[in-house]
């Protein structure tokens, strides 16, 4: 086996790896780097690959895959919820960034015609490769994968969260003996605060804002984080109205069909039954003035209904804005967090509402990444990817030192023999 890093090499975006067996070639993810103009992975010809394995729906893993469907296309394999979430996210991507993209909606449709579903733990074959998806705990439907050929076993973690959240179980580390690992390194050098502490801080803040007569806006990613926040509030018996809006509602509908991917389906259903669904503008305007919590995408305020709510909520000092996800530099969410400035009716203004950040990560921190490596049997070759340069290189050095594994932080274009 050989692995070529086509992206996510000493960077967080555009995850894409070419896995080359004796007679079969598959891609592990094919995502974009989210900048003003999306950046694509190193290209490969559709005729040169036998399939794409998609770990989860986030655009930095899925967003470039439709390029293969401008021509004849290739078979794509993923879990059923990931297929549906990918469709939701790429449709939106085409709406927002279509001008910069080489593909259109019709190519996305062709992609879904070539999509094959595999549930977690189902074993399937692509040419000489035997593949199994494992629960990655990152977002609903997300998978790590074991790819086996020629007596060698490779683990691709995708994005992984070992810690478990109110919505999802922690990642499954039942890997068995491995010859190679491609591991994410997003938070390889830092630890997250324990989840229950973050949850408590968030609920306390929500109470403080609402009991002071204010409204709390939670800009949240539509797949996973929005639902998790609602579950956190319900578990804490939060006694005030909780509203949800925008694309998060479409994600709810999809999740209702795949409840077996959730930690506690019953709690999830109860949570959804008790939230206020926003359906029209009078309702939204009223809710923005009601002491309540409003959960709305986009998570970094780049678009969606969070932008509308932010304009309503940011101008009053009794209100609050809870940032519950990492904010990419240059996004409106990052500017709000760092400078307290937001666009209000087209003009940058100092916001009056309180802005507070909460570390609800969906990636393993350093502690969980090392726990994962401890669960590995054998002496695998390790590739540290999906992290800033310093994170990937230092993580590789730490793995060498602590476990004695041969670990490298590839750069884009590198070919690693297994």
**Applying CB under 5 A, which of residues 14, 32, 60, 171 lies at the interface with Zn ion?**
60
Binding marks (x or -) toward Zn ion, 153..182, rule CB under 5 A?
Answer: ------x-----------------------
Choose which of 10, 58, 153, 225 interacts with Zn ion (CB under 5 A). 58
| Eight-state DSSP code of residue 261 | G
Pick 195 or 318: Cβ nearer Zn ion = 195
* Rounded least distance, CB 284 to Zn ion, Å: 29
**Complex with Zn ion: residue 236 or 328, whichever CB lies closer:** 328
For residue 107, state whether it binds Zn ion (rule: CB under 5 A).
no
* Paired residues of 416 in beta bridges: 3
CB of 55 to Zn ion, least distance (A): 8
Q: Does 228 bind Zn ion (CB under 5 A)?
A: no
Segment interacting with Zn ion, rule: CB under 5 A, options 40-48, 58-66, 239-247, 274-282: 58-66
**Residue 159 vs 245, nearer CB to Zn ion:** 159
Calculate the alpha carbon distances from 348 to 314, 371, 373, 379 in Å: 12, 45, 46, 54
**Beta carbons of 120 and 133 less than 8 angstroms apart:** yes
CB of 334 to Zn ion, least distance (A): 18
Sign of CA dihedral 199, 205, 207, 213: negative
Name the one range near Zn ion by CB under 5 A: 53-61, 203-211, 318-326, 374-382: 53-61
394-411 burial string, b = 16+ CB within 10 Å, else e? bbbebbeeebebebbbbe
Residue 237 Cβ, how far from Zn ion at the closest point, in Å? 30
Question: How far is the CA of 418 from the CAs of 21, 171, 185, 260, 377, in angstroms?
Answer: 10, 25, 20, 35, 16
Own/partner long-range contacts of 70-75 (Cβ < 8 Å, ≥24 apart): 70/102, 70/103, 70/107, 71/46, 72/46, 72/47, 73/46, 73/110, 73/111, 73/113, 73/114, 74/46, 74/49, 74/50, 74/114, 75/50, 75/51, 75/114, 75/115, 75/116, 75/126
User: According to the binding rule CB under 5 A, does residue 87 interact with Zn ion?
Assistant: no
Q: How far is the CB of 31 from Zn ion (least distance, A)?
A: 7
3-state SS class at 209: helix
| Minimum CB distance to Zn ion smaller for 16 or for 287 | 16
Q: Which stretch binds Zn ion (CB under 5 A): 91-99, 151-159, 324-332, 376-384?
A: 151-159
CB of 110 to Zn ion, least distance (A): 24
The window from 43-51, 59-67, 306-314, 376-384 that contacts Zn ion (CB under 5 A) reads: 59-67
Segment contacting Zn ion (CB under 5 A): 45-53, 57-65, 74-82, 377-385?
Answer: 57-65
Q: Is residue 180 helix, strand or coil?
A: strand
Query: What is the nearest approach in angstroms of Zn ion to the Cβ of residue 220?
Result: 14
Euclidean distance between CA atoms 380 and 396, whole angstroms: 12
For residue 146 the two structure tokens come to 């074991």
Q: Which residues bind Zn ion (CB under 5 A)?
A: 58, 60, 159
């Amino acid at each position: 086996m050989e692995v070529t890093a086509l992206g996510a090499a000493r960077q967080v975006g555009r995850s894409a790896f070419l896995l080359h067996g004796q007679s079969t070639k598959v891609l592990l993810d094919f995502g974009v780097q989210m900048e003003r103009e999306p950046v694509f992975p190193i290209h490969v010809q559709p005729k040169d690959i036998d399939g794409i394995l998609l770990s989860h729906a986030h655009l930095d893993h899925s967003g470039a895959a439709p390029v293969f469907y401008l021509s004849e296309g290739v078979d794509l394999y993923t879990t059923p919820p990931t297929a549906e979430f990918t469709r939701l996210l790429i449709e939106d991507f085409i709406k927002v960034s279509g001008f910069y993209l080489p593909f259109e909606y019709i190519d996305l449709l062709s992609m879904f015609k070539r999509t094959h579903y595999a549930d977690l733990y189902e074993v399937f074959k692509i040419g000489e490769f035997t593949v199994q998806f494992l629960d990655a705990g990152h977002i609903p439907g997300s998978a790590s994968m074991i790819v086996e050929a020629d007596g060698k076993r490779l683990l691709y973690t995708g994005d992984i969260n070992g810690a478990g959240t109110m919505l999802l179980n922690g990642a499954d580390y039942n890997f068995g003996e491995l010859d190679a690992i491609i591991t994410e390194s997003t938070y390889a050098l830092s630890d997250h605060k324990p989840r229950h502490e973050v949850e408590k801080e968030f609920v306390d803040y929500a109470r403080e804002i609402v009991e002071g007569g204010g409204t709390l806006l939670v800009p949240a990613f539509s797949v996973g984080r929005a639902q998790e926040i609602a579950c956190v509030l319900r578990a804490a018996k939060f006694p005030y109205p909780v509203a949800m809006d925008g694309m998060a509602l479409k994600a709810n509908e999809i999740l209702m069909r795949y409840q077996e991917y959730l930690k506690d389906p019953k709690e999830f259903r109860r949570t959804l039954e008790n939230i206020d669904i926003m359906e029209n503008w009078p309702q939204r305007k009223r809710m923005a003035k009601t002491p309540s919590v409003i959960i709305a995408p986009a998570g970094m305020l780049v678009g969606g209904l969070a932008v509308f709510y932010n304009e309503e909520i940011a101008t009053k000092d009794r209100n609050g804005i809870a940032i519950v996800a990492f904010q990419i530099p240059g996004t409106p969410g990052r500017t709000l967090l760092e400078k307290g400035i937001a666009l209000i009716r087209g003009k940058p203004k100092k916001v009056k509402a309180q802005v507070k950040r909460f570390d609800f990560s969906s990636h393993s921190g350093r502690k969980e990444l090392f726990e994962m490596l401890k669960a590995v049997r054998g002496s695998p070759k390790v590739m540290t990817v999906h992290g800033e340069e310093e994170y990937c290189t230092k993580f590789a050095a730490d793995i060498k030192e602590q476990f004695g594994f041969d670990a490298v932080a590839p750069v884009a274009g590198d070919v690693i023999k297994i």
